Amino acid sequence: MAMQKTLKKYFKLSGITLHSGEISNIKVNPAPANTGILFKRTDLKVPHIESLINAKIENVVNSELCTKLSNKYGHAVSTIEHLMSAFHGLEIDNAIIEVDKAELPILDGSSLEYVLEIERVGINNLQTPRKIINITRPIILRNNDSYIKVTPANSMTINYTIVYDHKLINEQNFIFDLDSKCSYRNIISNSRTFGFKDEVEFLKDKGLIAGGSLENAIVLDNDGIMNQSVLRHDDEFVRHKVLDFIGDIYLIGHRVSGNFEIFKGGHRLTHELIKSIMSDRSNWKYDDDKASLEELTFSTLNHKKELSASL
């Protein structure tokens, strides 16, 4: 049985935030087993308990441009999806993130800096087993021509397709097995967020991406990309969508076993899927559920009977 993990030591990062354009300073700390991923707003003059924001689906609000969490006291932290993705990708179950703004830094628009810092400080195995959520039946959600679907499986696989009317994208598909030895670090973590010139100018004018620049996003115009740097992968766009999905799905609060198929998805659709999964207890079970142990014992007994019958 796999054990829960945390960091060996803390690390700090600072940088501009995408939406508010402020400098945000974070300190990512190790945490005991069963803490989960917990944010603490250090800039608020409120009692400790009110400054804590759990990275769980029940705290997700307003998920159009990023993933934002808010606790029951109304204290929020946003643009958490890339850090969540690094935690999920590197199997960090527990961490406490101190942050002095209402938003995390955007860094280079990918999760690479988080991954490098986690690798630098190291990962610590805790003495408590990890609980994994196993999907027990198919669930599909549709929104116009977009859909997201999950079916039962022994590990987490992601099959993501995006479609954009742009010569560098058109249709891109990427399949990734999060639980195999193929590396989140090398395959997913350096893929940057992206936007289209018209949309970026519109959001800039509205003050919604005050910190956005060619340093932290790929920007596409009719000719190609406006950045000086080249693409890190030809299919960097769909890989970034996989990166976001890995971060967003972790808001379920555990690792999940299931095959996920996403067509033209986004933050909101992933959040809605988590809510659908959790809305009915028969949609999922823990891998160590008493019920599943009984099922296992039962099937082993049957298997033994079949074996002895065939002998």
Residue (52 or 116) nearer to Zn ion, CB: 116
Residue (80 or 252) nearer to Zn ion, CB: 80
CB contact at 8 A, 175 and 159? yes
Residue (39 or 237) nearer to Zn ion, CB: 237
Question: Can you name the residues that pair with 141 across neighbouring β-strands?
Answer: 148
Catalytic residue among 19, 75, 240, 267: 267
Give, as ranges, the residues between 223 and 282 that touch Zn ion (CB under 5 A).
Answer: 244
Residue (71 or 193) nearer to Zn ion, CB: 193
Q: How many CB atoms lie within 10 A of CB 287?
A: 18
CB contact at 8 A, 178 and 112? no
Q: How far is the CB of 79 from Zn ion (least distance, A)?
A: 8
Q: Does 193 bind Zn ion (CB under 5 A)?
A: yes
**Which amino acid belongs to residue 106?**
I
Q: If we measure between CA atoms, which residue out of 114, 109, 112 comes closest to residue 209?
A: 109
Examine the residue annotation and report whether 254 is marked as an active-site residue of this protein. no
Residue (193 or 270) nearer to Zn ion, CB: 193
d(CA 198, CA 188): 27
Question: How far from 111 is each of 97, 240, 278, 307, CA to CA, in Å?
Answer: 15, 9, 27, 50
Site string for Zn ion, 84-123 (x = CB under 5 A): ----------------------------------------
Site size for Zn ion, by CB under 5 A? 2
CB contact at 8 A, 236 and 162? no
Q: How many CB atoms lie within 10 A of CB 98?
A: 18
Residue (80 or 132) nearer to Zn ion, CB: 80
Query: What crossing angle do the helices spanning 267-278 and 236-249 adopt, rounded to 10°?
Result: 30
Q: How far is the CB of 111 from Zn ion (least distance, A)?
A: 8
30-38, 176-184, 191-199, 230-238 -> range binding Zn ion (CB under 5 A):
191-199
Q: How far is the CB of 295 from Zn ion (least distance, A)?
A: 38
Q: If we measure between CA atoms, which residue out of 123, 88, 234 comes closest to residue 174?
A: 234
Give, as ranges, the residues between 50 and 79 that touch Zn ion (CB under 5 A).
Answer: none
Q: How far is the CB of 161 from Zn ion (least distance, A)?
A: 17
Q: How far is the CB of 93 from Zn ion (least distance, A)?
A: 22
Beta strands in the chain (DSSP E): 3-7, 11-16, 23-30, 37-41, 52-54, 60-61, 68-70, 76-78, 95-99, 123-129, 132-135, 139-143, 146-151, 156-164, 170-177, 194-196, 218-221, 224-225, 255-263, 284-286
CB contact at 8 A, 288 and 1? yes
Task: Supply the residues annotated as catalytic.
Answer: 267
Rule CB under 5 A: which residues touch Zn ion? 193, 244
